[in-house]
Amino acid sequence: MRQTFVSGIPFGEVRSFSRCQWAPTLLLELLGKPSETEYADNIVFTLGMMGRIEAIDGLIRFLETGDGGAALSYQAYQAKSDVLIALGCILNQTDLELDGRDVERINTAPAASLQAAHDRVFAYLRAGLLDPSQWSKVGWKGPFPSDFDRNVYLTKKTVMGLSLSGDSKVQCYLEWAKDHLEMGPQAGLLMDRCGFRPAHPNTWGREHLARRDLVQLERLLDDATAVNSEIAKYPRGLADYYSQAPK
C-alpha cells in the first residue's frame, strides 16, 4: 500500500490478494486511520480492484463522511472521490459472477446477497450520474468554491467509475446522459430509453454547467461509453481489459 505506482496499481497483483478473506476488513480499518491518508488512494483502488462486496458499505461511508467545513488535504479528497471508480470495479466483478461467466469466484456470498450488493452499487452510481441531490449527503467540501462545484466533480468521477462496469444497462444511462447534455429534451425521456424513472425530476443538464465542466463531461461521457462497451466484450471483464492495456 505504501508505494507509488507510476503506471497504476497492478490489477493482477491485487486480484491475487483478493483471495485473503480478511483483506477487506484490514484495508477498511487502514482507510479510517488519519496516519494512512497519504496512502488512502492506493487503499481505495485496491479495495475496488479486489472486487469484494464486503468493501461496499465501508467505501461509501468513507466517501460521504466528513467534518463539515473543515478543509481536506489533496490526498484526502482525491481518495474519497476515487471511491466512485472503485465501486465501478466491484460492479464489474459482481456482474461477471451473476452472469455465470467462467471467472474466479471472488465473492463467496449466496447469490441473493451478491445480487443485493450489485443492486446497491448500481443504484448508488446511477444516482451519482442522474440525481443532483445525490451528493447532499456528502459531509465535506474539499477545494471547491461551492457545493455545486464539488457535486459536478463527483459526477465526473461517477462517469469514470461507471465506465469500468462493463454493464449493458450502464451503457444505456451513459449514452442517454451524453445525448442529454448535447441535445437537452430532444434526447428523449430516460424512462423511454432505459426503462428507469428517476425520483428527482430535475436531472442536471447543460444549462446548469460552466463551459469548462460541460466540455469535460462531454469528453468523459464519450470515453466512458467506449470503454464500457469494450470491457463488456471481454469474457473476464476488467481482468482482460487491464491485461490488454499498454504496460
Grid-cell match 496512502, residue found: 39
Q: Per-residue pLDDT averaged across 212-226, rounded?
A: 95
Which pLDDT score, from 0 to 100, does residue 161 have?
Answer: 98
Q: Check whether 23 has a pLDDT greater than 50.
A: yes
Which pLDDT score, from 0 to 100, does residue 245 have?
Answer: 63
77-86, 133-142, 215-224: the lowest-pLDDT one: 133-142
Most confident range (mean pLDDT) of 21-35, 66-80, 202-216 is: 21-35
Q: Check whether 235 has a pLDDT greater than 60.
A: yes
Which triple of cell numbers denotes residue 97?
459472477
Which pLDDT score, from 0 to 100, does residue 201 have?
Answer: 58
Which pLDDT score, from 0 to 100, does residue 223 have?
Answer: 97
Q: Check whether 141 has a pLDDT greater than 50.
A: yes
Q: Per-residue pLDDT averaged across 166-179, rounded?
A: 93
Which triple of cell numbers denotes residue 62?
468513507
Q: Check whether 164 has a pLDDT greater than 80.
A: yes
The distance in angstroms from the start CA to the end CA of the chain is 20
**DSSP track, 89-119:** HHHHHHHHHHTT-SS-----S-HHHHHHHHH
Q: Specify whether the CB–CB gap between 97 and 56 falls below 8 A.
A: no
**In the structure, what pLDDT confidence band is assigned to residue 5 with cuts at 50, 70 and 90?**
very low
Q: How many CA atoms lie within 13 A of 129 on its CB side?
A: 31
Which pLDDT score, from 0 to 100, does residue 126 have?
Answer: 94
Angstrom distance (rounded) from CA 231 to CA 164: 7
Which pLDDT score, from 0 to 100, does residue 3 have?
Answer: 54
Query: What mean pLDDT value characterizes the chain?
Result: 88
Q: Per-residue pLDDT averaged across 123-144, rounded?
A: 89
Which pLDDT score, from 0 to 100, does residue 199 have?
Answer: 67
pLDDT tens string 88-127: 999 999 999 999 888 888 999 999 999 999 999 999 999 9
Which pLDDT score, from 0 to 100, does residue 182 have?
Answer: 83
pLDDT tens string 44-96: 999 999 999 999 999 999 999 987 766 788 889 999 999 999 999 999 999 99
pTM for the full model?
Answer: 0.92
Q: Specify whether the CB–CB gap between 239 and 103 falls below 8 A.
A: yes
